[in-house]
Structure 1
Amino acid sequence: MPKLDIPITLLDPDGGWINTPVHVSELDELPVLLHFFSLKQRGNDADIDAVKRILAEFAPRGLRIISVDVTASDKELRDTNAVEAFARKHGLYHPIAVDDGSMARAYDVAETPAWLLFDADSGRLRHHFSGKNASQHARQVLERFVQSSAAAPAHAP
């Protein structure tokens, strides 16, 4: 079982960032969803559609969403064109980290997709969902998460 109560201390991903890089100081006092995925995972379309729905509903209300592509190969890590093409194809314009596996290990992500929710008050991991129904489980707690962070300023995706 994944460990909870881990602080959100983003590592500098070896593969860099797609769209906009994120520094941990930008996440202060905001609820954060880290969405781990892999270009190679089955069922990607449903998972990505869930990300887009959550972005549309919760980003305007203060939730910061960051996706993390856990790379399947050194080639993908060195050449992020495939990740960029995937993001454009699916209309993803929020920050996406290209991870060599170090971020996944730091947050105890053993499978993708994985959805990790960090609270705004402490910036610590409160929920970790993984597997094919991860987005549904995460969605059930997001309303409470965003409500408890109502004082947090809204942030564009």
Structure 2
Amino acid sequence: MMKKMLAATFLLFLVGVAVWNFAVQKEAEIGIEKGDKAPDFTLSSLKSGKDVSLSDFKGRKVLLNFWATWCKPCQIEMPAMEELQNEHQDITVLAVNFTSSEKNQQAVETFAERHGLTFPIVLDQEGINAKYEIFSYPTTYVIDENGIIEDIVLGTMTKKDMEEKLGL
């Protein structure tokens, strides 16, 4: 009788471990909240005109920044993003410009040249800002190597803030 109880207890333990393991390792749902898998998108690059997708950067930490040239706080943080990208080659700064709110694409090009921006800038004329429910600029998503949203920051960040959010 004791052996049957011990076997039943052991079996229940194994079932519990299996259920817990399955629940913990289930893939994150696609969404725009912390812990969600960031929705993928493909937009044209400002520099090359070629398509750039968020999924192109899988395996790297990504600072996904939504911005516009007319946004004063965006103007303040862009140089810090450039410094960050130059100093930390293992991360990617990906800037999504709210292009439909700009005077024209030339305004975005002029802004990028004036600030010496070399990180990828993509042009959102497709509504990615709406998909991510962006209501204020800048808004930045910190995304881990697996495409999971680690943090969301509304407003301007300093380079130190960015490094802290990225765990650098």
Is TM (by shorter chain) over 0.5?
Answer: yes
* Backbone CA RMSD of aligned residues: 2.4
- The higher relative CO (CA closer than 8 Å, separation ≥ 6) is in 1
Residues 4-58 of structure 1: per-residue CA shift (max 9 Å, x gap): 2332343233xx3212542344212111111111111123432112111211222
1:134 Cα offset (Å): 6.9
The answer as to whether partners of 2:45 and 2:123 remain within 8 angstroms in 1 is yes
Amino acid of the residue matched to residue 148 of structure 2?
R
Per the alignment, residue 96 of structure 2 pairs with 68
| Matching of residues 104-119 of structure 1 within 5 Å | 104-119=129-144
Equivalent residue, structure 1, for 2:41: 11
Alpha-carbon separation, structure 2, partners of 1:36 and 1:85: 18
1:40 aligns with 2:61: no
When residues 114 and 82 of structure 1 are mapped into structure 2, their CA distance, relative to the original with a 3 A threshold, is: same
For structure 2, which runs of at least 5 residues remain unmatched after alignment?
1-31
What SS is found at the alignment partner of 1:43?
A: helix
In 1, are the aligned partners of 2:35 and 2:148 still within 8 Å (CA)?
A: yes
* C-alpha distance in structure 1 between counterparts of 2:163 and 2:112, whole Å: 22
Post-superposition Cα deviations, 1:136-156, rounded to whole Å, max 9, x if no partner, equal 5433222x2x5xxxxxxxxxx
When residues 72 and 23 of structure 1 are mapped into structure 2, their CA distance, relative to the original with a 3 A threshold, is: closer
Shift of the 10–96 alpha-carbon distance from structure 1 to 2, 3 Å rule, reads: farther
Task: Specify the alignment match of 2:53 in structure 1.
Answer: 23
Q: Distance in 2 between matches of 1:6 and 1:109?
A: 16
Superposition TM-score, scaled by structure 1 size? 0.72
Confirm whether residue 55 of structure 1 aligns to residue 85 of structure 2: yes
Query: Once the two structures are aligned, what percentage of the paired residues are identical?
Result: 21
